[in-house]
Structure 1
């Protein structure tokens, strides 16, 4: 135990010494940012040993939680051993989409580049720094960069740059590169093609990993169709194929120009799509608009949906189609809903092969006859939404125009409820509670419905 503690203490001491050497004036910061290093025109994070390479450091500097004094003045890039910088390695700096013309750069000991900006970074910004390195002739599997931000008060914000996607593209997405020999990689082996087991009209291509690869190129019938980035990615799904037999080959690559010979070919047959898409998620509440009833939903997560069909009926098992919209839409207005009765809506997602899946239903909608509040009587404490509130349609007031309002009084003339809505709304609901949010007592209540200068007076029975 003593020996373990001794070595742990030694490791901590080495880390502290490293940080003190590389990062003088270290302090923690509220600035939390993401960054990545990519070889220019190479998404695989691979450099060729013995060459010169242009690199791009992309970062998103998040200033949303920055404190006074943490405005960014400089960016420090520590280049790993195995890469050499000299002269003025930085070729360009961008903040957002704009080139920064008057930045300064300097090389410090321990392979560090310091880029100082003419204007402080005070807002969350996307920054890209392009610089040149000489790559050692000896391949190195792990070239780890460290990027730090230096604030205006010269404190280094050690928590500032963490590896992650910072350029919005699928590529290296890390602060680590590798260098490889300038020879073609081996072609992938064990290439296989299988139909999608779930009934989609897709084919799944798999192969064995090539250790020296940075990614793989997929060919269908001799035509390049996909670039799979990462040596550990060993499958690709070719989607939405017409029923037919297709031949595939796979090539591994180190860079765009260092590609392997094609693999042995493998064939597979795509069948007709028989799998229904994932259903849309319906919004249970309906919107009552001047022009009709609006049904809304969240789109299906399936990529091959081409349209949505809207159904209406008295129950989930007895619905009929009333309309359809294309896959870009997420709502539908029923311009001719029933004039009375109860009904609900369901939305179906339809894919390009005609397969369909249906959503769960909306809440049951009760349409009034138009000349009286319903239901009457009603039971506010019921768990059934059909009976626990009363609805006053605006059509209850004949010939009225303008703001629609309802007042409810007890038999002693006390006002217990009042609400008004604009002229675009068709109804007012009352849940049996007074202005303090308490349920009223059972009994008979008087309502006064008003629209413009027209009135309608009647009675409501509250039953508990």
Structure 2
């Protein structure tokens, strides 16, 4: 009976394999190293990277990955020594390469993949391209420890999380370089910045994908638009520099370099533009300071300063230097939290921008007032001055209280006209003079009740239109 069951399982596994079904799901793409488009010149040696997103979370027995097999189109040739590496999530795996017929590259892993993780695999190798022009389709297959295919060929799709080819095809184009770039000139900045502006005439070759600028013959800058005719090289080291430019179809098929242009770059003496849109908000974490960055591209640091409104001498917080560098997907706003408990009074927060040469912008300032009562009182909701058109109710008005924070507003007849409720973490509530219907109430005296937890405090507010 046991033998019958084992034979049935073997037959089921064989049928599943033959049908191309696999619990391992994968998508992949092929890219030219250093390129975003899948274009290669004919009759060239090109560095290629195959990226595979392989999900083994539902893998079944017999789907352990031992070999990744890449079949290249006719005319593409790779040799044993052309294999560079295979990485899994950035960590290199131990493997050996086997080449069959010049166009089949088998990457055999020393340790098969048996876990149930979703990972990114990258295989890097060089290949010779054919001398004919066509769309070249690559195929990738996973094989198990018995060298049996795990499902069908991997489907094409976004795998590496980058904006690039996202396909298993490469377009082979004629190995004819574009014409040299015309009208190339360079100019050093004359306003105190250590920048260089470069200009040139647009290429009329529709196969050109952009331009490569060479500073001092080696350092390269890639401009990825054929329509571009200008580039500003920012924060160039002061001194004498040379520039050249090429047009490129791919980075492996460029025009000859333009004649050398020489420029003298002076020290950076120009202060950056100040930051913008400074706002100060009270929360349960403290006083939060938010600002938008300077438009100047050479800003390296922001400095947060503080002082009393009456004093011109603002001091930098000990931890108040904030890097201008932003990570991907990070909010465009910068943020700093003053965690101190401030005394009653009027204070100033300021932000300055500092460039790589240490030049400082003028400060952007914001006044911040700490009261033990609602302020301003009286207030004028029709005023354009933000310091007087809204009344602020601080939670600290109610001493030594904790809990939900709200404000009730009544007219002199005792009728409730507005309820303000704080969100979690809010320590101030603002009233713009409007009732629950969004209409500004009449001028006069209004009663308020500030409630924090089970404690409350009452008083009057004067509204003057």
TM-score by length of 2: 0.56
| CA–CA separation in structure 1 for the residues paired with 2:136 and 2:295 | 38
Corresponding residue number in structure 2 for 1:356: 361
SS of aligned partner of 1:94 = strand
- Measured after TM superposition, the shift of residue 381 of structure 1 is 11
1:284 aligns with 2:276: no
2:49 to 43, 57, 65: 57
Q: Which blocks of at least 5 consecutive residues in structure 2 are unaligned? A: 1-17, 144-148, 325-333
- 1:391 equivalent in structure 2: 393
Task: Assess, with a 3 A threshold, how the Cα gap between structure 1 residues 273 and 144 changes in structure 2: closer, same or farther.
Answer: farther
Aligned counterpart in structure 2 of residue 347 of structure 1, from 342, 351, 362? 351
SS of equivalent residue, structure 1 residue 84:
coil
CA deviation after TM superposition for structure 1 residue 95, in Å: 2.5
1:79 aligns with 2:78: no
Q: Would you say the 8 A contact 1:338–1:367 is kept in 2?
A: yes
Q: Does 1:270 align with 2:271?
A: no
Q: 2:279 is paired with a residue of what secondary structure? A: coil
Q: C-alpha distance in 2, partners of 1:406/1:252?
A: 65
- For residues 262 and 421 of structure 1, the distance between their equivalents in structure 2, rounded to whole angstroms, comes to 62
Deviation at 1:305, TM superposition (A): 1.1
Equivalent residue runs for 1:440-459 within 5 Å:
445=447, 447=449, 457-459=457-459
The question of whether the paired residues in 2 share the 8 Å contact of 1:216 and 1:251 is answered with yes
How big is the shift at 1:391? 0.6
| Count of residues in Structure 1 that have an aligned counterpart in Structure 2 | 410
Given that 2:401 and 2:452 are in contact with CA atoms closer than 8 Å, whether structure 1 keeps it comes out as no
Q: Give the structure 2 partner of residue 144 of structure 1.
A: 136
Distance 1:327 1:63 in 2: 39
Q: Which residue of 2 aligns with 1:13?
A: none
Matched residues in 1 for 2:368 and 2:194: separation?
Answer: 39
Alpha carbons 2:276, 2:291 under 8 Å: kept: yes
Partner of 2:3: none
Matched, 1:154 2:151: yes
RMSD: 6.7
Displacement of 1:312: 8.0
Change (3 A) 1:92 1:289: closer
By how many angstroms is 1:94 displaced?
3.1
Distance in 1 between residues matched to 2:94 and 2:237, nearest whole Å = 52
The 3-state SS of whatever aligns with 2:314 is strand
**Is the Cα contact below 8 Å between 1:171 and 1:229 reproduced in 2?**
no
CA spacing shift, 1:79–1:446, aligned 2, 3 Å: closer
- Residues 72-151 of structure 1 correspond to what in structure 2 (within 5 A)? 77-84=70-77, 93-99=86-92, 118-119=112-113, 124-131=118-125, 133-136=127-130, 138=131, 140=132, 144-147=136-139
Q: Is the 8 A contact 2:28 2:168 kept in 1?
A: no
User: Which is worse superposed, 94-103 or 293-302?
Assistant: 94-103
In the alignment, is the contact (CA less than 8 A) between 2:42 and 2:133 conserved in 1? no
What 5-or-longer segments of structure 1 have no aligned partner? Answer: 1-23
> 1:83 Cα shift?
1.4
Q: For each residue in 1:276-324, what CA deviation from the matched residue of structure 2 results, as whole angstroms up to 9, or x when unmatched?
A: 6465354635135676x33122434644114435578999xx9967345
Q: CA deviation at 1:328?
A: 0.9
Partners of 2:285 and 2:52 lie apart in 1 by 46
> Judging changes above 3 Å, is the alpha-carbon distance between structure 1 residues 26 and 366 closer, same or farther for their aligned structure 2 residues?
farther
1:373 is matched with which residue?
374
CA distance in 1, matches of 2:34, 2:244: 27
Alpha-carbon distance between aligned partners in 1 of 2:181 and 2:268, rounded to the nearest angstrom: 29
CA change 1:146–1:285 in 2 (3 A) is: farther
C-alpha distance in structure 1 between counterparts of 2:199 and 2:168, whole Å: 25
- Residues 38 and 170 in structure 2, CA contact (< 8 A), matched pair in contact too: no
Question: TM-score normalised to the size of structure 1?
Answer: 0.56
Report the CA distance shift for 1:38/1:72 in structure 2 as closer, same or farther (over 3 A). Answer: farther
SS in 2 for 1:268: strand
3-state SS of the aligned residue for 2:73?
Answer: coil
